[in-house]
């Protein structure tokens, strides 16, 4: 509703200009024909103002950008969540701080001295891998996947995210890329007569996507040597 206030003020200004222009044109001599020049000016301005007002009304009453069943989110808040979760992971505090973002956990038995970290299906894994060394050699690898909220054009789409799938094969911990989720949606956009006053681009539309922070947190035995073959963002707890 607040966004329509500038448009209403613009409409009032246009109407005032149309009236002043028409009065000024009344002082000129009439041109042969059915309508005088000033009358034609009034008709043109009046028609344009009517179109503008109709667009303002449509902009006010058209369906909201957030469909029913979807949640509106603040992208700045989402960015802060991502930073806080990553900082907690690096500090070894993710289990306490990021419990609300925990999506899945795995446990593997492993008694080898070396573990190769690889990726299956795709060389590009859009997930940070953070490793914490335990104080004991307990022969167990613990994995936990954390995902902060994500959004598209201010709508939360976190529930559509899928976790990766780690699995142990001989001396390798293989990370299988998550299943891709496809999102298809449509939305209303302001027409030309509104865009010319709001400063929006007439011909292009940009979607805003915030993917959130995804972290695969590994807890490995104290003396286990981890050999990275993934090229992912791999870091150790400080």
Q: What Cα–Cα distance (Å) separates residue 62 from each residue in 48, 56, 66, 196, 206?
A: 21, 10, 12, 19, 20
39 and 85 together in one domain: no
Q: What Cα–Cα distance (Å) separates residue 145 from each residue in 80, 116, 127, 200, 207?
A: 19, 19, 9, 40, 27
- Domain annotation covers residue 70: no
Token couple for 162:
């899928």
Mind listing the pLDDT tens digit for each residue in 46-68? Answer: 767 766 666 666 665 555 555 56
- Domain annotation covers residue 160: yes
Residue 217 has pLDDT above 80, yes or no: yes
- Domain annotation covers residue 199: yes
User: 25 CB contacts (<8 Å, ≥6 apart)?
Assistant: 36, 37, 38, 41, 42
43 and 88 together in one domain: no
Token couple for 54:
């109709």
Whole-model pTM?
A: 0.65
Distance CA 53, CA 57 (A): 6
- Domain annotation covers residue 220: yes
Distance CA 44, CA 7 (A): 19
Give the confidence band of 8 by pLDDT, cuts at 50, 70, 90: low
Domain region containing 123: 75-182+191-236
More confident residue, 36 or 221: 221
215 and 151 together in one domain: yes
Hey, how many other C-beta atoms are within 10 angstroms of the C-beta on 107? 10
Mind listing the pLDDT tens digit for each residue in 166-183? Answer: 888 888 888 887 766 666
12 and 130 together in one domain: no
Number of domains forming the structure of the chain? 2
* pLDDT for residue 2: 43
* pLDDT for residue 89: 94
- On whether the CB atoms of residues 224 and 115 are closer than 8 A, the answer is yes
């Amino acid at each position: 509703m607040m966004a329509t206030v500038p448009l209403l003020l613009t409409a009032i200004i246009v109407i005032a200009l149309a009236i002043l222009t028409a009065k000024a044109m009344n002082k000129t001599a009439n041109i042969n024909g059915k309508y005088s020049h000033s009358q034609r000016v009034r008709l043109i301005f009046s028609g344009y103002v009517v179109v503008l007002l109709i667009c303002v009304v449509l902009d006010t009453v058209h369906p909201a950008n957030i469909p029913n069943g979807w949640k509106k989110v603040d992208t700045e808040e989402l960015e802060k969540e991502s930073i806080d979760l990553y900082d907690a992971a690096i500090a070894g505090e993710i289990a306490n701080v990021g419990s609300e973002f925990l999506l899945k956990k795995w446990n593997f038995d492993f008694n080898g001295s070396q573990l190769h970290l690889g990726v299956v299906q795709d060389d590009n894994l859009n997930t940070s891998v953070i490793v914490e060394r335990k104080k004991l050699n307990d022969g167990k690898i613990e994995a936990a996947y954390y995902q902060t909220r994500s959004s598209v054009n201010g709508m939360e789409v976190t529930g559509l995210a899928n976790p990766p799938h780690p699995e142990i094969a001989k001396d390798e911990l293989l990370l299988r890329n998550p299943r891709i989720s496809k999102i298809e949606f449509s939305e209303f956009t302001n027409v030309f007569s509104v865009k010319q006053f709001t400063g929006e681009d007439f011909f292009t539309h940009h979607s805003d996507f915030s993917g959130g922070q995804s972290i695969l947190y590994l807890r490995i035995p104290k003396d286990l040597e981890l050999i990275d073959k993934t090229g992912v963002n791999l870091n150790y707890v400080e």
